[in-house]
Amino acid sequence: MNKKLIISIAKSLLLARWRQSLVAAVGVTFSIAMFITLLGFMTGLNDLLDGLILNRTPHIRLYNQIKPSENQPVNAAAEFKDSYNFIHSVKAGITRQELYNSGPVMQAVKADARVVGAAPKLTAQVFFNEGTIDITGVINGIEVEEEMRLFNFRDYVTAGSAIDVKNVANSIILGKGLADILVADIGDVVQVTTAQGERFPLKVVGYFQSGIQEIDKVQSFASIGTTQKLLGKPANYITDIQIKLTDLNLAPAVAKEYTTLFDVDAEDIQTANSQFETGSSVRTLISYAVGITLLVVAGFGIFNILNMMIYEKMDSIAILKATGFSGSDVNAIFIVIALSIGFFGGLVGLVLGLVFSLIIDQIPFVTAALPTVTTYPVNYSPMFYIIGGVFSLVTMYFAGFFPARKASKVDPVEIIRGK
């Protein structure tokens, strides 16, 4: 049968019951719009929550873990060499936190094509002296330029300038929670005592806020040179190398490779932050489940509407078959009706979903815990729109398939005889 004629008949049936067709299309539109809006918002929220940690976490961290030697003296004794020796309460031996040959290691890492960049780091446990009270804290010695380039350090400095920690001698950027405890304003001098008992004055040049209050109460940042001076260490003393890769998924394999190559301990981001990946996956799965449920419910609505349309159009179907239309032709007519509703309803739904997402993206969202966020987060991934569009057509096809098959089996003689 002529395809244009089938499409023309389908159009006539749609317009004859335009209110029912409109209700069906609105159901599809609403489902697709909510699917896009919900998935975009939930994924944006996942990215925000994960970013609070992952943006500041290196893909691979090289360090020396303090641990007992695996080869104890008893194993070297001739009489016990071939025995299984069980040793209790083993203490760490003479182990340094310093990375050996840190300069050549940095050069080798940066020369790796899989690496975007590497930043040295030095951690110092200190006491911040507030009158007669000593407040425990941590000073992270960093290379500011690399931290800003690789780990968005500038975005988390809520007051002052990040680069000042390099340009101003003996300066420090305090965590916002720690600054509130010390009642330290920018320009003030805080007294710091190291674990060795040495006391140093440091000038506050900024506040850092990660969004995690417990971390912001203890951590602060200074240049590597200042931190080395606090600890009384030479200029080549560093305890960590933070590495960012071109592909996050390469981290576990590259970490194992670096452990063997450089004889250091290496921790990949998947191991360090596995709980965040799990939470993100679960939230995304819930979003997809709710969105698909909306589309399936809309599909049942189309199914019921087409069933009613077939019941009401039995006379028309009988006439079509009596005038030479085959069962497959009638089947195609109702499939075209279902796909038309799915296509136009889905298209409008995609546009509305984008509009709703843009509206949410403009709603102010200001909180002290998230200094880098000013509006609600939304993800505009094209994949969401592709999934929504394809799924709407697939759902509508199956919603129309069974009523269409029923219509194709109508016996025109029985219908006309019944009339």
Residues 22-47 pLDDT 10s: 777 787 788 888 888 888 888 887 77
Q: DSSP assignment, residue 91?
A: P
Q: Show the tokens assigned to 286.
A: 């819930």
Coil/strand/helix, residue 268: strand
Say how far apart CA 61 and CA 118 lie, in whole Å: 10
**Which pLDDT score is estimated for 67?**
62
Is residue 123 within 8 A of residue 239, CB to CB? The reply is yes
Q: Do β-strands 171-175 and 265-268 pair in parallel, antiparallel, or remain unpaired?
A: unpaired
Is residue 389 within 8 A of residue 346, CB to CB? The reply is yes
Rg (CA), the chain: 33
Say how far apart CA 250 and CA 284 lie, in whole Å: 23
Nearest alpha carbon to residue 291 among 175, 367, 390, 365: 390
C-beta atoms surrounding 52 within 10 Å? 19
**Which pLDDT score is estimated for 355?**
92
Phi-psi region of 99 (alpha: psi -120 to 50; beta: other; left: phi over 0): beta
Report which residue type is found at 111: A
Length of the chain measured in residues = 419
Q: H or E element: which one contains 146? A: helix 144-151
Q: H or E element: which one contains 172? A: strand 171-175
Side-chain-side CA neighbours of 235 within 13 Å: the count stands at 0
Say how far apart CA 12 and CA 325 lie, in whole Å: 16
For 221-238, how does the pLDDT look when each residue is reduced to its tens digit (9 = 90+)?
998 988 888 888 888 888
**Which pLDDT score is estimated for 172?**
92
Longest CA–CA separation in the chain, Å? 107
Is residue 164 within 8 A of residue 171, CB to CB? The reply is yes
Q: H or E element: which one contains 88? A: none
Nearest alpha carbon to residue 14 among 309, 417, 385: 309
What is the crossing angle of helices 274-312 and 327-362, to 10°? 140
**Which pLDDT score is estimated for 30?**
82
Say how far apart CA 206 and CA 158 lie, in whole Å: 7
**Which pLDDT score is estimated for 378?**
87
Nearest alpha carbon to residue 161 among 108, 204, 224, 125: 204
Say how far apart CA 406 and CA 419 lie, in whole Å: 19
For 65-86, how does the pLDDT look when each residue is reduced to its tens digit (9 = 90+)?
766 566 666 666 766 666 766 6
Nearest alpha carbon to residue 399 among 321, 297, 326, 323: 297
pLDDT < 50 positions in the chain: none
Residue 140, phi then psi, degrees to nearest 5: -100, 115
Q: DSSP assignment, residue 192?
A: E
**Which pLDDT score is estimated for 80?**
67
**Which pLDDT score is estimated for 304?**
72
